Structure 1
Amino acid sequence: MNALLVDDSRLARTELRHLLRAFPEVQIVGEARHAGEARALLLQTQPDLLFLDIHMPGETGFELLASLEKAPHVVFTTAYDEYALRAFEVNALDYLLKPIQENRLAAALAKAQAKVAGAATAARGAASAPEEPALPPLTEQDQVFVKDGEQCWFVRLADIRLFEINGSYTQVYFDQHRPLIPRTLQHLEQRLDPRVFFRANRQQIINLKWVERIEPWFSNSLKIHLRGGPAVEVSRQQSVRFREMLSL
């Protein structure tokens, strides 16, 4: 299992590297002091696991994750405990408080190994399974059935302004409703009309026809305000694609 360490403190990186020596199944493929270095190393090394500090010069760990189209499994390492809830909202595997305890590190690595092994098994199964016919794309005028618990809706796609990851489900925004559906954004992206629905970041797909206003955001990215809310931060890479797609 390959791991990348991202922390602006050299001492913290050294301590973590020392702790990881007790786990021979983990190979450290690089270290980064800030988000810019981390972004380059992520592309270069393609690690399975990212040990990520939150407070760093320039971008925070959360901002780095929001800018990535694809991220490895993440374990946050920080001296602050107030960001734990937000960490799990972005699907982090674990949240380790400094100074890191070896038993907590072992638990985090066990979670990571289970995820990596599961992904490898799924990939082998997908390679050997016969291909299923692709479902036809949906237009904005199509109506879709949405069920959340005992409640059901039959809603036009044109009336849905946002799809957003919420844990292992996707939350659907239309009218005043916020039902959860057992679908991934990857599945939805394959079915939706790309001229209408835009993948803003790893966690959100927006309906372009619900855009109310756009403002420049950090690191040359964009922030899009939807009618009826909420505001959505577009990743740096997708901000470039958004400008190219909608410019004359």
Structure 2
Amino acid sequence: MPTAIIADDERLMRDQLRLRLQQVWPELEILDEAKNGEEAIQLIETHKPDLAFLDIRMPAKTGLEAAKEIGTKAHIVFITAYDQYAVEAFEQGAVDYVLKPADTERLSKTVERLKVRLNTAAEPNDMSNMLAQLAKQLGIAPKPNYLQWIQASIGQELRLIPVEDILFFQSDEKYTRVQTASYEALIRKPVRDLAEELDPHLFWQIHRSTLVNSKAISGVVRDMRGRHLVQIKGLTEKLEVSRSFVHLFKQM
């Protein structure tokens, strides 16, 4: 009996696809469902299905990003909203796809192709070379590779610090201070360079010399001079916000 998982961030779409698949391919067993690309990858590892139906646009990881990690572990079928250019992109890449909302007649054609692949014991396609081109044709930009670790000096010791553990960066003329909840370290890279290499949703620039981990902010206060000061969880120290970056805290 062939097996599959379905990944789509819309519950209604998952339910509809499951129903349509039951109609055109009753032998197919849907093992599980995912709400995003990360969950889809985990389900592939857990269930090892024959097929993975992946929505193109999902949070955490897109269908294309998930497919890249899944590789040849399963036959991939992309789910896409109807778009002439998207369909052309898939057909040029010889990739199986399902239009949203799932149409029984169109889905039947996809199922017939999939049955042939499974019945002939064909290996899943290695799509690594076509995924980047598909992403370009569909207008899905790859996510930038932000820094995950910082190599910093603590005295004579070099230490690798996960960026999520860092509360803030603060530069002077020569060094940049790297502050965590339990220790302080130094690096030579200035804040202006770090601002381009760190995830801007995680690290907010609040001053030309300061980057702060947004998850470490406990509040913002104003002092007697009218300056905005950021309070950091677990620290008594406050960080000044320059006028250029006050807008970040207007809704806090």
Q: Which has the higher contact order (CA 8 A, sep 6+)?
A: 1
- Structure with higher Rg: it is 2
TM range (shorter): 0.3 to 0.5
Q: TM-score, normalised by structure 2?
A: 0.46
